[in-house]
Amino acid sequence: MIARFGIFLVWLTHFLPLALLNPLGQGVGLLFYALGRERRRVARINIGLCFPALSRAERERLVRRHFRAFGRSFLERGILWWSSPRRIRRLVRLEGVEHWQAVRGRPLIWFAPHFVGLDMGGARLALEANAASIYSAQKNPVFDRLLLKGRTRFNEQRLFSRQDGVREVVKVIRQGVPFYYLPDMDFGPRDSIFVPFFDVPAATITGLARLAKLGQAVVLPVVTRQLPGGQGYVLRFYPPWENFPSNDVLADTRRMNAFIEDRVREMPEQYFWLHKRFKTRPPGEPRLY
């Protein structure tokens, strides 16, 4: 019942202009900050590990800014789920499209790190092309159905479960369907290696390099930035990676994490700090959460 009421409120907010949604979403984020003791603790630990040079007060301000950005993105999902394609195109503008056009039609992986604008970028790309992605089932069945429906509104979108394995994913990539890939979370020790993320050993899946090799695909980084005020978002295509994958999976995975670090430094409040990124620890090291 609570989930349905929450979804109803998000549905109501999608009628509002961005200029009003922005402060309302930030307010919701501060409410999450006040009530979400566990996630607040996780964000503090993550930011403390990744930005040890910041003072305690500076880190806490960054935590609060992250919750505000997250709250905004949460409410603005209503636009993705119920608004017109025209409004979504206004919400999320594209930059660096020439990088995509240069490799369009070839097997392609859109490498999309976990920033708060991730779903906005995914919806915007779905308006432009048939695509595929990985889908993680949500614990709440009502929210799960809504999220699944929202991500498949436009064109032909194929969603794969993490339990499906790579065979079907590789097949789709080789057919020329862009694959929107989010490989920067801690999924446990399976298929992972420990690679530094802000100098902290992080269990990191090697899927980006493996899929690029098996699918004979170009890797094209895409990052969606949340803009201030009522300006919406901008999805930026970066130049396709050359000499990737190499014959060194460790070096390839380090390259991936280094790219994410550079983007995080540009907008530290927008990375998804609520995830337990360092949950899996190297043998003999203590738990962090």
Share of the chain above pLDDT 70, in %: 98
Residue 16: its pLDDT value, please?
92
Contact of 222 with 111, CB cutoff 8 Å? yes
Q: Count the neighbouring beta carbons within 10 Å of the beta carbon of residue 246.
A: 12
Decide: helix, strand or coil at residue 34.
helix
Q: Phi/psi at 43 (nearest 5 deg)?
A: -60, -40
Residue scoring higher pLDDT (146 or 115): 115
Question: Per-residue pLDDT averaged across 243-262, rounded?
Answer: 97
The 8-class DSSP code of residue 184 comes to: -
- Residue 95 carries which DSSP code? E
The pTM assigned to this predicted structure is 0.93
Q: Of the given ranges (98-112, 152-166, 180-194, 272-286), which has the lowest mean pLDDT?
A: 152-166
Contact 150, 144 (CB under 8 A): no
pLDDT tens-digit series, residues 6-31: 787 788 888 999 999 999 999 999 99
> What integer pLDDT is reported at residue 67 of this predicted model?
98
Pairing of strands 233-237, 218-226: antiparallel
pLDDT at 172: 95
Q: What is the pLDDT of residue 3?
A: 64
pLDDT of residue 278: 98
Taking only the tens place, the pLDDT of each residue in 161-188 is 776 778 899 999 999 999 999 999 999 9
| Predicted confidence band of residue 206 (pLDDT cuts 50, 70, 90) | very high
Residue with tokens 């930011």: 47
Q: In this model, does residue 1 exceed pLDDT 70?
A: no
In the numeric block, which tokens belong to residue 184? 């920067």
Q: Per-residue pLDDT averaged across 98-122, rounded? A: 96
Instruction: Please check whether the domain covering 2-270 is classified as CATH 3.40.1130.
Output: yes
Domains of the chain: which residue ranges?
2-270
